[in-house]
């Protein structure tokens, strides 16, 4: 059966153009000029893809998206608009749109997008969830807006940013939005592989090239043929290998270790680093010519502390993901716990936030994540309980109840540990009544043992 597409736009000429183009590609196409017509069509017929204008004469295309895109992903939605804005883009992505494009658009590019999305319905890899790299923060809008633009190009991309900001997620999103989406995405951590193995891993080797090379082996560049190779921590590459990477980028050819012939490659390269490559160049540790070769397009991810508006969005995403992973019913987040998360500095960025939320979900037995569910270190950015002398109120202030709650929980935990889990002894150590200690210990879900009679 032909895949069915619904076009929703009040411009008759555009509907006709898209109908001609998409029917020429072998799809079955129906169109609607208004919100009402589109809603009726979606209620009565099955469509694999909906191409929908945001501004309709009798409604909003985003409302149509929200009301008709099922959780099972029955329809792919591509939102189009002549009034492009970061707010529209973020709303489209957040509400489940697969793509967002601005008028006027290139019909050939739209054909690629349609083919990619309908190809995914036939079992290709899904589009990366962009909520992990975008949310409500204006600092992310320029990056989100550039994804379709850089995805169309085959130019090498350099992504910079602190550790844990989501550089690989951004690379995956670019790959998923590109014409190479149906081909492999191969990530490589250049700092994690031993120097002696790195060249063979990247470029492959021939039989007998070294001890243990009993057969020819393709490298990761060839494994990523037709797709994208992601070179994370590219600043960790040894200088000798930097020369070979430069040659591969320039000539689009590689030579396997021990080989005598060049092998042509068709692989897009996205590199990433948390290091200052300019400083490494000045120190003689990174080649300037390679820097210019990988830095054709540059995207810099801001740290999480500079995009705090994204924390609630990311938190909800990570809570739901952790609940699904552990087989728990959906958990909610208390507003005081969210306040604590918003006030923490997040030196480990998005990766640390995900780790904290996963830990909180795993340890919290109830359906509500509260202040006491969170690790003690997130209170004021302290790795250990605060000292009673020299405490300084942050310029932005803090939630005093949440902060003192965290102090109490941590000191009670230490007291129990010191007293071998005996609550009466721990209560004496903290000058608390036994009843008060038991009450707070239950609140904080501290590991307890029965006291001796």
More confident residue, 285 or 449: 285
pLDDT digits (tens, 9 = 90+) for 396-429: 676 777 777 778 888 888 888 888 888 888 888 8
Instruction: Report yes or no: 136 and 148 within 8 Å, Cβ to Cβ.
Output: no
Domain of 250 in residue numbering reads as 138-302
pLDDT digits (tens, 9 = 90+) for 359-389: 999 988 888 888 878 887 886 443 333 333 3
* CATH number of the domain where residue 172 is located: 3.40.50.300
- Lowest average pLDDT, out of 30-44, 83-97, 237-251, 401-415, goes to 83-97
d(CA 298, CA 441): 51
Q: What is the pLDDT of residue 165?
A: 92
More confident residue, 109 or 234: 234
Instruction: Say if 164 falls within a structural domain.
Output: yes
More confident residue, 66 or 36: 36
Share of the chain above pLDDT 90, in %: 34
d(CA 443, CA 409): 9
One domain for residues 276 and 329: no
pLDDT at position 34 over 90: yes
Give the mean pLDDT of 77-102.
69
Identify the top-confidence range among 99-108, 285-294, 336-345. 285-294
d(CA 37, CA 31): 9
Q: What is the pLDDT of residue 73?
A: 47
d(CA 367, CA 422): 28
- In this structure, are strands 332-333 and 4-8 parallel, antiparallel, or unpaired? unpaired
Q: Look at residues 409, 425, 442 and tell me which one is the last residue of a structural domain.
A: 409
Instruction: Report yes or no: 98 and 69 within 8 Å, Cβ to Cβ.
Output: no
pLDDT digits (tens, 9 = 90+) for 342-358: 888 899 999 999 999 99
One domain for residues 103 and 35: yes
Instruction: Say if 440 falls within a structural domain.
Output: no
One domain for residues 147 and 196: yes
Q: What is the pLDDT of residue 71?
A: 39
- Beta-ladder partners of 102: 81
Q: What is the pLDDT of residue 39?
A: 93
pLDDT digits (tens, 9 = 90+) for 203-245: 887 776 666 666 777 888 988 999 999 999 999 999 989 999 9
One domain for residues 14 and 107: yes
Q: Tell me which long-range contacts 88-91 makes (C-beta under 8 A, separation of at least 24).
A: 88/54, 88/62, 89/141, 89/144, 89/145, 90/134, 90/135, 90/136, 90/141, 90/144, 91/62
Instruction: Say if 130 falls within a structural domain.
Output: no
One domain for residues 277 and 321: no
Instruction: Say if 447 falls within a structural domain.
Output: no
pLDDT at position 80 over 70: yes
Instruction: Report yes or no: 426 and 435 within 8 Å, Cβ to Cβ.
Output: no
More confident residue, 6 or 88: 6
One domain for residues 9 and 112: yes
pLDDT digits (tens, 9 = 90+) for 114-137: 887 776 444 433 333 445 565 567
Q: Look at residues 124, 158, 193 and tell me which one is the last residue of a structural domain.
A: 124
Instruction: Report yes or no: 124 and 176 within 8 Å, Cβ to Cβ.
Output: no
Q: How many structural domains is the chain composed of?
A: 3
* CATH number of the domain where residue 361 is located: 1.10.8.60
Give the mean pLDDT of 276-303.
95
* CATH number of the domain where residue 58 is located: 3.40.50.2300
Identify the top-confidence range among 226-230, 311-315, 383-387, 440-444. 226-230
Instruction: Say if 265 falls within a structural domain.
Output: yes
Instruction: Say if 284 falls within a structural domain.
Output: yes
Q: Which helix (H) or strand (E) holds 247?
A: helix 239-251
Instruction: Say if 417 falls within a structural domain.
Output: no
Q: What pTM did the predictor assign?
A: 0.58
* Radius of gyration of the chain from its Cα atoms, rounded to whole angstroms: 27
φ, ψ of residue 185 to 5 degrees: the values are -115, 115
Secondary structure of residue 271 in the 3-state scheme: strand
């Amino acid at each position: 059966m032909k895949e069915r597409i619904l076009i929703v736009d009040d411009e008759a000429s555009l509907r006709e153009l898209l109908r001609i183009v998409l029917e020429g590609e072998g799809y079955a196409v129906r169109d609607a000029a208004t919100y009402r017509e589109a809603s009726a069509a979606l209620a009565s017929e099955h469509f694999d893809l909906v191409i929908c204008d945001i501004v309709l004469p009798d409604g909003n295309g985003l409302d149509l998206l929200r009301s008709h895109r099922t959780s099972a992903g029955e329809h792919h939605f591509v939102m189009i608009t002549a009034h492009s804005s970061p707010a529209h883009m973020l709303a489209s992505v957040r509400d489940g749109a697969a793509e967002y494009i601005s008028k006027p658009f290139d019909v050939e590019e739209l054909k690629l997008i349609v083919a990619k999305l309908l190809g995914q319905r036939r079992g290709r890899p899904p589009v990366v969830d962009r909520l992990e790299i975008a949310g409500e923060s204006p600092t992310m809008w320029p990056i989100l807006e550039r994804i379709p633009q850089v995805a169309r190009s085959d130019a090498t991309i350099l992504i910079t940013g602190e550790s844990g900001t989501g550089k690989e997620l951004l690379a995956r999103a670019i790959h998923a939005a590109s014409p190479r989406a149906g081909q492999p995405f191969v990530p490589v951590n250049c700092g994690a592989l031993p120097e002696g193995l790195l060249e063979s891993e990247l470029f492959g080797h021939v039989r007998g090239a070294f001890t243990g090379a009993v057969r020819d082996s393709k490298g990761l560049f060839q494994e990523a043929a037709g797709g994208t190779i992601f070179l994370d921590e590219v600043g960790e590459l040894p200088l000798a290998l930097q020369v070979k990477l430069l040659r591969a980028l320039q000539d689009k050819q590689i030579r396997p270790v021990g080989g005598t012939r060049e092998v042509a490659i068709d692989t897009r390269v996205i590199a990433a680093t948390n290091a200052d490559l300019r400083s490494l160049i000045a120190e003689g540790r990174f080649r300037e010519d390679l820097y210019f070769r990988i830095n054709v397009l540059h995207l810099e991810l801001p740290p999480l502390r500079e995009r705090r508006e994204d924390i609630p969005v990311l938190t909800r995403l990570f809570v739901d993901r952790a609940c699904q992973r552990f087989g728990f019913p959906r958990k909610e987040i208390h507003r005081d716990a969210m306040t604590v998360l918003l006030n923490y500095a997040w030196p480990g960025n998005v990766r640390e936030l995900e780790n904290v939320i996963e830990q909180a979900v795993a340890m919290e037995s109830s359906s509500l994540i509260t202040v006491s569910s969170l690790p003690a270190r997130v209170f004021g950015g302290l790795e250990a309980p605060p000292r009673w002398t020299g405490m300084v109120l942050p310029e932005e202030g803090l939630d005093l109840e949440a902060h003192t709650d965290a102090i109490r929980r941590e000191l009670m935990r230490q007291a129990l540990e010191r007293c071998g889990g005996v609550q009466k002894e721990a209560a004496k150590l903290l000058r608390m009544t036994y009843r008060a200690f038991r009450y707070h210990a239950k609140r904080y879900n501290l590991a307890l043992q029965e006291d001796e009679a």
